[in-house]
């Protein structure tokens, strides 16, 4: 890393990362040309880069992949969690190679270019990850120019002017704008996605704060009929569906900002006494609705190997996580009990109330491609509906 004021692009550099601190990292760009500004984080998963890039929870972020071989299985239309990538770009160690997988239909760099997302290869991702771990997730700009021409001072100013995720409501920007009934089941090799059979199923209204498709697939697999509504849907609009229970999805941004319009609706849901299940941002919003607080994490939790202890029986679940904010356990009222904790840092990873009919987890139990230790939560929730 070098200081922006004194560093010129080295020979052959077609991409760079400029941090708000003034540090510049040079590499080889791929995907779309241009620049994007956001929070630079790291993700430790060894698989699922398409799922990660399309997770709406990554809106406003540039992902550093710690696993060196990203792109080696190409891209396909099935391994996605939304209709487009929401992460702004990716930073990887090795150049993206031609795919070696029978399911691939295009190269990852072509997929990135088609979706106007920027990639940066040839980076010492170990050094960058250490930088994030010791200094926190910084604001930065990732840029790609095939001609190798960069206005580094302008990129530095862009990084410094970006306000950061704290206080930013991003759920509105990634949520559906209209309600719809979810159709489609889980994916099976050789068959693709199953059709969902919601005939006679218990009805769940799912609030989309930036949801992943696999959440709805697993609710349907557990036997639920799912109606998805926008993040800003009013209680009157939600109540009109006559649901048997409610679901609060994952999503990006600061939960305290999204809470301004989400919390009154969640409190109305709680007043009905019907079952409620929240994931990730939905977990944080539920905590805020019952009187808790959330805080920005130093580096966040992002990976597919996070151990979580289930306090009811001491079992350990290996989970997928993606969050930069956390619930302050000491802020939870007496009526709310902690159900799960992270074994990495002891932070809150789940809560419950109302005899267990209302519960939420900080991690992603629907994780695709995995792990699948926590998928029991979906049939547990649907089984509560009446």
Q: Cα separation of 293 and 226, whole Å?
A: 29
Q: Cα separation of 366 and 218, whole Å?
A: 7
CB 373 within 8 A of CB 306: no
How would you write 156-187 as a 3-class SS string?
A: HHHHHHCCCCCCCECHHHHCCCCCEECCCCCE
Which residues participate in catalysis according to the annotation?
A: 280, 364, 366
Taking every pair of Cα atoms in the chain, the longest distance, rounded to a whole number of angstroms, is 67
Of 105, 106, 92, 120, whose CA–CA distance to 34 is shortest? Answer: 120
Q: Cα separation of 230 and 207, whole Å?
A: 6
Q: Cα separation of 302 and 209, whole Å?
A: 18
Q: Cα separation of 252 and 165, whole Å?
A: 9
Element (H, E) at 287: helix 281-289
Q: Cα separation of 324 and 223, whole Å?
A: 32
CB 64 within 8 A of CB 43: yes
Cα torsion 222, 228, 230, 235: sign: negative
Cα torsion 380, 203, 210, 31: sign: positive
Q: Please return the burial class of 229, using the count of CB atoms within 10 Å of its CB with bins 0-12, 13-18 and 19+.
A: buried
- Helices 213-221, 377-384: axis angle to 10 degrees equals 60
For strands 224-230 and 245-248, give the pairing. Answer: unpaired
**Length in residues, the chain:** 386
């Amino acid at each position: 890393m070098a200081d922006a004021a004194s560093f010129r692009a080295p020979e052959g550099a077609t991409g760079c990362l400029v941090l708000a601190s003034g540090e510049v990292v040079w590499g080889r760009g791929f995907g779309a040309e241009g620049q994007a500004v956001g929070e630079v984080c790291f993700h430790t998963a060894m698989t699922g880069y398409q799922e990660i890039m399309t997770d709406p929870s990554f809106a406003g972020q540039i992902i550093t992949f710690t696993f060196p071989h990203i792109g080696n299985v190409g891209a396909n239309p099935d391994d996605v969690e939304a209709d487009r990538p929401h992460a702004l770009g990716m930073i990887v160690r090795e150049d993206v190679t031609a795919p070696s997988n029978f399911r691939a239909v295009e190269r990852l760099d072509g997929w990135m270019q088609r979706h106007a997302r920027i990639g940066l290869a040839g980076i010492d991702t170990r050094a960058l990850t250490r930088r994030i771990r010791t200094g926190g997730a910084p604001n930065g700009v990732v840029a790609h120019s095939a001609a190798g021409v960069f206005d580094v001072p302008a990129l530095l100013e862009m990084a410094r002017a970006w306000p950061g995720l704290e206080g930013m409501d991003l759920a509105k920007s990634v949520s559906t704008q209209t309600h719809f009934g979810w159709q489609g089941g889980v994916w099976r090799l050789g068959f693709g996605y199953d059709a969902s059979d919601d005939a006679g199923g218990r009805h769940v209204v799912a609030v989309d704060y930036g949801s992943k498709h696999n959440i709805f697939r697993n609710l349907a697999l557990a036997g639920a009929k799912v109606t998805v509504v926008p993040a800003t849907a009013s209680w009157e609009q939600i109540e009109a569906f006559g649901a048997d229970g409610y679901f609060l999805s994952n999503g990006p941004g600061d939960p305290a900002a999204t809470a301004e319009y989400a919390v009154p609706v969640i409190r109305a849901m709680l007043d009905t006494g019907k079952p409620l299940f929240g994931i990730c941002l939905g977990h944080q919003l539920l905590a805020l609705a019952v009187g808790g607080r959330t805080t920005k994490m130093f580096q966040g939790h992002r990976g597919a190997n996070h151990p979580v202890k289930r306090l009811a029986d001491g079992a350990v679940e290996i989970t997928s996580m993606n969050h930069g904010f956390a619930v302050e356990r000491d802020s939870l009222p007496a009526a709310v009990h902690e159900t799960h904790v992270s074994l990495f840092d002891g932070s809150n990873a789940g809560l419950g109330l109302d005899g267990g009919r209302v519960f939420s987890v900080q991690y992603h139990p629907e994780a695709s491609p995995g792990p699948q230790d926590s998928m029991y939560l979906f049939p547990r929730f649907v089984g509560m509906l009446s």
